[in-house]
Amino acid sequence: MRAKETYGVGLLGLGVVGTQVARLLLSPPTTHSIVDSPQLELHRILVRDITKERSIDLPDGILTENIDELLSDENISVIVEVMGGEHPAFDYQQRALTANKHLVTANKEVIAKHGKYLLDLAKSSNLELRFEASVGGGIPIINPVQRDLIANKITSIRAIINGTTNFILTQMADSDIEFESALKQAQKLGYAEPDSTNDIEGIDAAYKLAILASIAFQTHISPEEIYQEGITNLQPRDFQYAKELGYAIKLLAIAKESDDILQVRVHPALVPLESSLATISGPFNAVEVQGDLTGPVVFIGQGAGAAPTSSAVIGDLIAIASHPSTTSSAPTSKSPKRKITVASIQDIETQYYLRLNVADCSGVLAQIGAVFGKHSISVASVIQKDSDPQAQSAELVITTHPALESSMQSALTDIRKLGILLEIRNVLRIEV
C-alpha cells in the first residue's frame, strides 16, 4: 500500500488553541484526516519562550523562538497563526505569504483590519488564505456564506458572536444578578479574560461582524465603520421588564443592506422571546443569515474554546492540503471588490425601549408624549413601575414604534431638559 503524501505545517503560537491544534496534528492521522488527503505533519512551532513548561508532550527540537526557522523551511507548506492580537501576528502573516506559504489563521483582529490586503497578497502569489476559525469558533459560517449560499443575495445578518457576553447576559436574565457578579462568574469559569474589555464593550463582536459583512456583501468593511455599544449599562430590571414585554436581551451584531446602503452595528438589543436568537444561552453563538432564496438560515454552536476553534483550523488545513493545485480559485482567496455606502447610526430606523426615573406627579406622560410627538416618534406602550412615595418618583418603561435614531437622540436631548425627569436609566433598541 502506497504511503500517504505528507503536508508540512508550521504553527505560530502555543496557547490554549495552539496546544489543541498541536495535539491534533501530533495524534494518529485518522483523528484529523480524510481519505485521499495528505498526512498533515507538524514541523515547527514558534513560541515566545522555549523553556516554558507545556501541558503537551512535544518532539525534541520542534519549538523555536525564531520565525525565520519556519519561513525558510522548505518542508513547511502552510503556516497556522493562532497567536492572537494584531502585532506581531500581522507581520508574521505577511511574511508567511511572501515566503510562499499558504496561511490559516484564527485571528479575527488581523483579518478584520487587514484582511483585504492579505487576500490580495495571497492571490498575487497564487496562495490560499483561510480564516474559518476567526468567526464563530467551531461554527462553520465563512465557507457556507461563500460557497453554499452563493446563489443568494444576502440581505441581512443578525448574530450572537461573543460567547463571553452571551454567558453574562444569560446569567443576568436567569439568576437576576448584577453585571459585575455575572462577569466574575464568567472569569471564574474561563469564559472571560481578566481584562474582558474587548468582549463587554462589543469590540470583539465588531471584528467578527466586519469579517462576516465583508464576505456576505462582497465589500470591505473595517471595524471603524461599525457602530458599537457594550453591555455594562444593563441592569437586572432591564431583563425583568424585557421578559414582561415578551423579549430577551442579547448583544447583537447586525448587518443589513437596502438599496446599496449597508448598516453595520453591534449593541445590546431586545429580541422577541419566540425568535431563534432569544433561545441562545450561555457561551453559545448563533448567526442568522437572510438570503433571498433560502430565507433565514441559522448556524448555532460553540463560538469559542480550544476544541471548537481547533476544529475550524484543522478543517482549513485539510482543505488546503487536499487541493493544493486549485487553491487560487477558492472563494477565501478572493478579495472583495464591491463598493457600498455604510449608513450612519443616525440614519437607522428601529424600535426602542426606554427606562426612565421620573417625578411621580400629574402631567408626566403628557410632557414626554409631547416631546415624542415633536420628533415624530409613536409610543407603543407605557408601563409605570416601582413608585417611591418617599422620593416621589416612579419608573416608566416605554416602548416605541419604529423611529429614526436621529429623532430618538433629539427627543432624549429634549427629555433631559424636562423638570419631571430624574434619570434616563437605559435606552435599548428592539430588533424584531
- Find all residues with CB under 8 Å of 343, minimum gap 6, and list them: 261, 262, 263
Inter-axis angle of helices 108-124 and 203-216, nearest 10: 30
Classify residue 149 by its DSSP letter: T
| Per annotation, catalytic residue among 113, 208, 250, 256 | 208
* Spatial distance between the Cα atoms of 381 and 379, rounded to a whole number of angstroms: 6
Half-sphere exposure of 355 (CA within 13 A, CB side): 17
Residue 426, φ and ψ in degrees, nearest 5: -165, 150
**3-state SS class at 246:** coil
Find where cell 416631546 sits. 371
Least Cα distance to 409 among 367, 378, 375 occurs for 375
With beta carbons less than 8 A apart as the criterion, state whether 420 and 367 touch. Answer: yes
* Spatial distance between the Cα atoms of 100 and 63, rounded to a whole number of angstroms: 22
Residues in a beta bridge with 355: 397, 426
Based on the residue annotation, tell me whether 153 is a catalytic residue of this protein: no
Spatial strand order of the sheet with 39-46 comes to 63-64, 39-46, 6-12, 78-81, 102-105, 129-130
With beta carbons less than 8 A apart as the criterion, state whether 79 and 95 touch. Answer: no
Q: What burial letters (b/e) apply to 392-422, b meaning 16+ CB within 10 Å?
A: ebbbbbbbbeebbbebbebbbebbeeeebbb
SS3 content of the chain, % helix, strand, coil (to 5): 35, 30, 35
With beta carbons less than 8 A apart as the criterion, state whether 321 and 356 touch. Answer: no
**Rounded (5°) CA angle 55-57-59:** 140
Q: Which three cell numbers stand for residue 41?
A: 505533519
How far lies 77's CA from each of 96, 341, 427, in Å?
A: 10, 39, 52
Positions annotated as catalytic residues are 208
